[in-house]
Each structure stands twice: as C-alpha cells, then as structure tokens.
Amino acid sequence: MPTALLLAAASNKLLSLNAVDLAVIALYFIMCLGIGFYLKRFANTGEDFFLAGRDMSAWIAGLSFVAANLGSLELMGWAASAYQYGILATHWYWIGAIPAMLFLGIVMMPFYYISKTHSVPGYLKLRFGEPARALSAISFGFMTLLMSGINMYSMALVMKIILGWDISFSIWVSSLTVAVYVFLGGLLSAIFNEVLQFFLIWLGAILISIIGLKEAGGWSGMVARIHKNFPGQDYTHLWQGLGHFADNPMGIHWTGIVLGLGFVISFGYWTTDFLVVQRVLSARDLRSAKMAPIIGAAFKMCVPFIVILPGLLGLAVLPEHLVGEAQANATGLHSYNEVLPLMLARYCGPGLLGLGITALIAGFMSGMAGNVSAFTTVWTYDIYRALIRKTAPDSHYVAMGRWSTVVGVLVSIGTAYLVMQFLSIMDYVQALFSFFIAPLFGTVILGMLWKRATPAAGFWGLLAGTLSSIGMWLWVKVDPSALRYVALSTDAKDMAENMYRALWSWIICVIVTVIVSYLGQPKPESELVGLVYGATEIPHERDLAFYQRPLFWAAVVFAVFLALNIIFW
C-alpha cells in the first residue's frame, strides 16, 4: 500500500460515522477486552499461555489459522490489487495458499505435532541443532515485529483516510487493546478473538459483494460492465494472458505464479511461518492438527468473495476510474487502495457502515495479534530460554511471555512509525517473505524428508538462502538492469521480481544444504525418530471411516480448488 499515496489522500476523509456506527465499533473493542479478561484464568502454565493448552478443536484451530492471516494486507491491499490487476489477484488465495495448506495438514503436521515443539525454530533445534534454531528465531522475531508494525500503520492510515481519525490515536488504541488481551490470555485469548474477528470480517465485507453483484446484474453483468469500462484489457480470467510477461497487467509469467508463488512463497509461508503454524499446534490431538489446515483451506478458498470481488465490482460500478500512485499524487484522484472504503460508502448506511468499519479494524487487529503472539512464543522459548536463561520455573517463562507481549507491541509501534519513511509498504512485505520465509521452507522440508541432511547443513543452507535473497534485492535496487537476471525478463514488474527472487533463494538454500550434508556425517537414525520421514512411525487412521480421515477431506478441498481454477480459467 503506497504510503505517499495515502498521505496525499488523507486530507479528505471518505466516510462519516453516526452514533449507531460508533456504538458498533465500541462494542467490538469491549468484546475483545472481555474475552481477554475472561480467559486469563485458563492461561496459567506455559502450555496454556503459549499453545492454548493444546486443547483446541480442529474447527477452532482452523478458523484461527485463517483469521491470523486476514490482516490489513488482505482486506485493503488485495482489494486494491484486484482493481489494479483484476482476478489475477485471486492467485494469492488459490494456487498461492490451498496446495500448501493441504500439504501442511497431510505431510508436515505429524512431525510438528509428534515432536511436541512449541515453534518452528523449536523443530529446527531438534532436527539441526542450536545454530539453525537461533538463526531462524532471530530472523523470525525481526520479521514479525516489522510485520506487526506494518499492520498497525496500515490500519491507522486507513482510519485516517476513511474517517479522518488521527494516525497516532488509531495506532495506540488498537495496539494497546491487542496488548491487553494477549497479555492476559496468551494464545488462547488471541485464538478466540481471531475466531470472533473472522466472523465479523465476513459479516462486514460480504455486504459489499452481495449488494454490488445485485447492482451489476450478477457475475455476467459485472464482466460485461468491466469490458465496457476497460476495453482491450482482460480482468476476469485467471490463466489467460500468462503466456508472456507483457500480456497481462501484472507483468508476470505463469512460471512465476506456479513456481515462485504456488511453490516457494506459498509453501514457505503456510508451512513454516510460525504466525500461522502456531494456531495448528494448539489442536487437541494429531487428527485435529491435520484437519485444522484442511478446514482453513476450505474457508481460504472463499475469501476472494469478500476481498477480490469488491475490487472487481469497483471496476464495474464505480463512476470514476481509480488510478495508480504517481497519478493520484499529481491529480488528487482516488487511488486503487481506496476501492474497499469507496465500496463501503456506496452500499452501507448507518449501522451497516459501522459493521463494515468494524470488519476492517478486526482484520487489522487479527493480523497484529497473530504477529505479537507468535513473537512472544519465539522470543520466550527460542531466544530467551535457549540463549539467556536455560533453567527457570515454568511460571517465570509465562511471566516473560506476558511482558514480552508488552515490549513486542511497543517495538511494533516504533516500527509502525518507521514504516512511514517507506514509499511502498507492499513492496517491503513481499521482500521480507523472500528474505526469510522462502529459504526457511527449503531448510524445513529437507529436514523432514531427507535423513541425510546434517546439522551444519541446516544452518549454512538457511544462512546462504537468506543472504542470497537480500543480495538479489540489493542488486536490483543498485542496478535496475539486473532485473533481467533475477526475474528472467526486462518486462517483469515488482511482484514478478519477488516471486523469482524467492524461487532462487530457495534453490540456493537447497543446493548448499545438500552439498554441506554430503561433506559431513548425518545424525544416527535413532536421533531422528519423530522428526524425519523414514525414521518415524506415523499413526495410522485405518480404524476411522473414510469420511473421517483428513486425507479424504484434503482430496475434496483439492478437487474444488481445481474446479475453481478451471471455471475462472
């Protein structure tokens, strides 16, 4: 979301709330705090505070798994991208999520769950040793705090544009609310608030899609209007036009979508980013842990109907064409990033408008709480306990978790103000994923599937992948012509560069890991039990009816995923 663009637009608020709308928003904040105070009594041990007692049902864990990802970039950023790129933005929800979520549930969750790890860095400690854990924990901690700050700042900026609220007021009220309920109830409080936020997001955002489709004359009517408003451009097909970088508005080739997004970025995020994996680790048993990502994938496939569809409807029904960053700064016209609030203003009256704004706030706070609770766990278990104080009572680590929540929120507030210095938030977020998530996936997947991978290889592969990604990013910044080497084409745009940079960093991580592994001695197989395929007995599900098995439901979700891609081809 371009900061300069939003600041330029901030002088004119788009919406005004009445007393009913303000009451709806106030009730939401009261409910969030009430959940935190109520659940404090159930978060006394480390297992309770950091992993919700490992007692969540598959449905609760699955909904929280999706809701933790429904932050500001989802609601505002991808609605804007849908207006800018059309239905191509849906790739980030379907091929960029569904296969990876199913892979997490069926293939990777048995090892995360059986090893009883508290975090993804904790798994790396068991598999590769302390150096790999320390590297991943420190980089993850840095990334989560910056991402939390980006969520805070994005929300504050949106509230300033939509309602004219002061940026600092919005940052402090939302962040302190999150700090209070995570401080009190830990992950348990975060999960239950995320489930509440999930339903609020749907109730608030689905109104735009339903009323908008009615105005546009259904899907076919919307498509006809888009073609009339934007002749010569195809905004309504997923895969047509991806045969060449220059044939689509995103400037990307299908290999970037399939390999960069669909494989590296997607699998890296959904299977190794502890922000989302932590929610699944809270499941009460292995079957629930496997089912949670599958349930989450089913709901994730539906999210474009409340995020992408409003952007497409904007192309069809808004009386003026929204513009990009440079033109908006020069002319004062509305930008892509304002499409969601513009649609809210178009369709929602008193009360409904308050519900819609509450949905936006809930999305921002959900993403923020996800980052804060994940940071708290990784800091306490993988940095503080591992490197600073190795032996202490459980109550000491719970207290550290609570106070690190406060410190994490305060640091995130600082990073929120730091983000103001950047011109493009979206650009830096995608860069962060390619720096830390893509190489981490290479390390974790080799650790789980290959017994030969050695402890030293885990560390050096992860380090090489991370540094190479940062190096490629700096290379293009210093010499823009390097884009033809990193993204394979001079026609590639920023999004394509992110996808290919992630792919190269993953490949480098894998190559270095394999080479270093063959230069050293692997761990004996007895030390790999519960950590690696071929050395671990996975509990079977033959005693369950076929319709109760996670693999059956994964196949159902995947079949629907394929059907959607064919329908919108």
Q: Are 159 and 353 in contact (CB under 8 A)?
A: no
Which of the residue ranges 4-13, 298-307, 379-388 would you say has the lowest mean pLDDT?
4-13
CATH code reported for the domain at 3-426: 1.20.1730.10
User: Read out DSSP for 343-398?
Assistant: HHHHH--TTHHHHHHHHHHHHHHHHHHHHHHHHHHIIIIIIIIIII-----HHHHH
Q: Are 441 and 265 in contact (CB under 8 A)?
A: no
Structure tokens at 96: 């960029």
Q: Are 234 and 240 in contact (CB under 8 A)?
A: yes
pLDDT digits (tens, 9 = 90+) for 180-218: 777 776 666 777 777 777 777 787 778 888 888 888 888
The residue among 43 and 122 whose pLDDT is bigger is: 122
pLDDT digits (tens, 9 = 90+) for 50-84: 666 567 788 888 887 787 777 656 777 778 788 87
> Of 361, 462, 267, nearest to 72 (Cα)?
361
Distance, CA of 341 to CA of 319 (rounded, Å): 15
The residue among 273 and 287 whose pLDDT is bigger is: 287
Q: Which residues on adjacent β-strands are paired with residue 2?
A: 424
Q: Are 120 and 279 in contact (CB under 8 A)?
A: no
Query: In which band, very low, low, confident or very high, does the pLDDT at 329 lie, cut at 50, 70 and 90?
Result: low
Single-letter code of the amino acid located at 189: S
Distance, CA of 447 to CA of 364 (rounded, Å): 34
Element (H, E) at 294: helix 286-300
Q: Tell me the C-alpha to C-alpha distance, in Å, between residue 423 and each of 392, 426, 566.
A: 45, 9, 37
Structure tokens at 259: 């390999």
Half-sphere exposure of 101 (CA within 13 A, CB side): 32
Q: Are 32 and 196 in contact (CB under 8 A)?
A: yes
Element (H, E) at 254: helix 254-255
Q: Are 76 and 246 in contact (CB under 8 A)?
A: no
**Which residue in this structure is represented by tokens 């090893």?**
115
Which of the residue ranges 201-205, 421-425, 429-433, 440-444 would you say has the lowest mean pLDDT?
421-425
Q: Record the pTM.
A: 0.76
User: Would you state the pLDDT for residue 423?
Assistant: 43
Q: At what angle do helices 304-317 and 167-216 cross, to 10 degrees?
A: 70
Query: In which band, very low, low, confident or very high, does the pLDDT at 331 lie, cut at 50, 70 and 90?
Result: low
SS3 236: coil
Distance, CA of 107 to CA of 449 (rounded, Å): 10
Query: Where do the structural domains in the chain lie, given as residue ranges?
Result: 3-426
User: Would you state the pLDDT for residue 377?
Assistant: 80
Half-sphere exposure of 319 (CA within 13 A, CB side): 1
Assess whether pLDDT exceeds 70 at residue 235: yes
Backbone angles phi, psi at 110, to 5 degrees: -55, -35
User: Would you state the pLDDT for residue 324?
Assistant: 54
Distance, CA of 112 to CA of 534 (rounded, Å): 15
Q: Exposed, middle or buried by CB within 10 Å (0-12, 13-18, 19+), for 284?
A: middle
Q: Are 461 and 510 in contact (CB under 8 A)?
A: yes
CB atoms within 10 A of CB 319: 5
User: Would you state the pLDDT for residue 509?
Assistant: 94
Structure tokens at 285: 């048993």
Tell me the average pLDDT across 170-177: 77
Which of the residue ranges 176-190, 319-333, 398-412, 508-522 would you say has the lowest mean pLDDT?
319-333
Q: Are 45 and 398 in contact (CB under 8 A)?
A: yes
User: Read out DSSP for 489-516?
Assistant: -TT--HHHHHHHHHHHHHHHHHHHHHHH
Q: Are 375 and 178 in contact (CB under 8 A)?
A: no
Tell me the average pLDDT across 474-501: 78
Assess whether pLDDT exceeds 50 at residue 115: yes
User: Read out DSSP for 416-460?
Assistant: HHHHTT-SBHHHHHHHHIIIIIHHHHHHHHHHHH-TT--HHHHHH
Structure tokens at 433: 């994923």
Assess whether pLDDT exceeds 70 at residue 461: yes
Element (H, E) at 64: helix 58-67
Distance, CA of 317 to CA of 315 (rounded, Å): 6
Assess whether pLDDT exceeds 50 at residue 8: no
User: Would you state the pLDDT for residue 3?
Assistant: 40
Q: Which residues on adjacent β-strands are paired with residue 424?
A: 2
Single-letter code of the amino acid located at 83: Y
3-class secondary structure for 81-109? HHHHHHHHHHHHCCCCCHHHHHHHHHHHH
Q: Are 158 and 365 in contact (CB under 8 A)?
A: no
Backbone angles phi, psi at 167, to 5 degrees: -60, -50
Distance, CA of 315 to CA of 211 (rounded, Å): 15
Most confident of 7-21, 104-118, 125-139: 125-139
